Amino acid sequence: MGLLIELQKRIPDGWFLRRLLPAALFVVVAVGGGGELGHAHWNDIALARGRMADALRTGGGPTADTVASLVLVAVPVLGAAFAVPYAAASIGSLAAGAWPWWLMPVGRRVTRWRVRRWAEPDVLARRSVRARADGHALRADRLDARAARAGTGGRPKSPTWSGDRLRRTEENVGRQTGGDVAGGWTVLLLSAADQPRAALAQARDAYDAACEGLVWSTAFTVLGAWWWPAAPFGVLLGLASWRSPRHAVQALCRTTEAAFTLRGTGEPGTQP
């Protein structure tokens, strides 16, 4: 464990623990579970161990077959580690409401559905009071949560909650400081002091990590078609990761608003 922590310190952005190790786990599960065991022998650990030992047996020293086997494992591990950030970037764009033109018809339908489902916070609060009076505590709690989200977000204008939150941040920054988030982001990063810049980088990295969690959950769920225990793991990982992008967006938006405010007020170390 100490070696892993030291590696995380030395490798930028936690690349080793966040990308390489999950990729290695996925390839091992894919080869051992999907490739060797399958559905018929899904829990035969001895069979998987024996086949892996046969594949890696050196016979007293490294052989061409052993080296080839290690290379065939290392290549997909590194490929997955490099491919996941690109897939996560696509998920991040969709979550942020930046849908490509060929998906905009779907995006407009999703936006209209969100508008129809949206209700004023006061209406939701009254429904919650009635539900709690009728003894439906769980429904009342759900309505309270919806009322809290509606009160902070307003009427939906984007296919996703994160898209609405990011646009509201742009409006808040423009109204409070006169800044332009889209046009002034690079200037902000270059002119901000070390602490605001580090906070922005950390918030952005948290959003990327949350999107990568969704990618891994999808990959393990799909792998369940060949080895079914991978599917429940993927579903559980997806449930755990589902709320993470929303929390990361909330933190990123608050940090961005604070950074623009500090820059506008001319704090030491910043340029107005």
Angle of the 194-223 helix axis to the 244-265 helix axis, nearest 10 = 170
Name the H helices within the chain.
2-10, 15, 21-29, 45-56, 64-95, 104-117, 121-133, 137-153, 161-177, 181-191, 194-223, 230-242, 244-265
With beta carbons less than 8 A apart as the criterion, state whether 222 and 191 touch: no
CA distances from 141 to 132, 242, 244 (A): 8, 20, 21
- Residue 115: CB partners within 8 Å, gap ≥ 6? 155, 156
Count Cα neighbours of 41 within 13 Å in the Cβ-side half-sphere: 12
Name the residue type at position 185.
W
User: Looking at this protein, which amino acid is placed at residue 168?
Assistant: R
CA angle, 128 as apex, 124 and 132 as ends, to 5°?
175
**Looking at the whole model, is its pTM more than 0.85?**
no
pLDDT at 59: 47
> How confident is the prediction along the chain (272 residues), in pLDDT tens digits per residue?
454 555 555 555 566 667 777 888 888 777 766 555 556 555 656 656 666 666 555 544 556 566 666 666 677 888 888 888 889 999 999 988 888 889 999 999 999 998 888 888 888 888 888 888 888 888 888 888 877 777 666 788 889 988 998 988 988 888 888 888 878 888 888 887 888 888 888 888 889 988 998 999 999 999 888 888 888 988 998 888 888 888 899 999 999 998 888 876 654 444 43
**Can you give the residue ranges of every domain in the chain?**
2-118+155-265, 119-154
Of 169, 254, 170, 258, nearest to 270 by C-alpha is 258
**pLDDT given at position 127:** 86
Sequence-distant (≥ 6) Cβ neighbours of residue 214 within 8 angstroms: 88, 91, 238, 241, 242, 245
* Cβ atoms of residues 237 and 153 within 8 Å: no
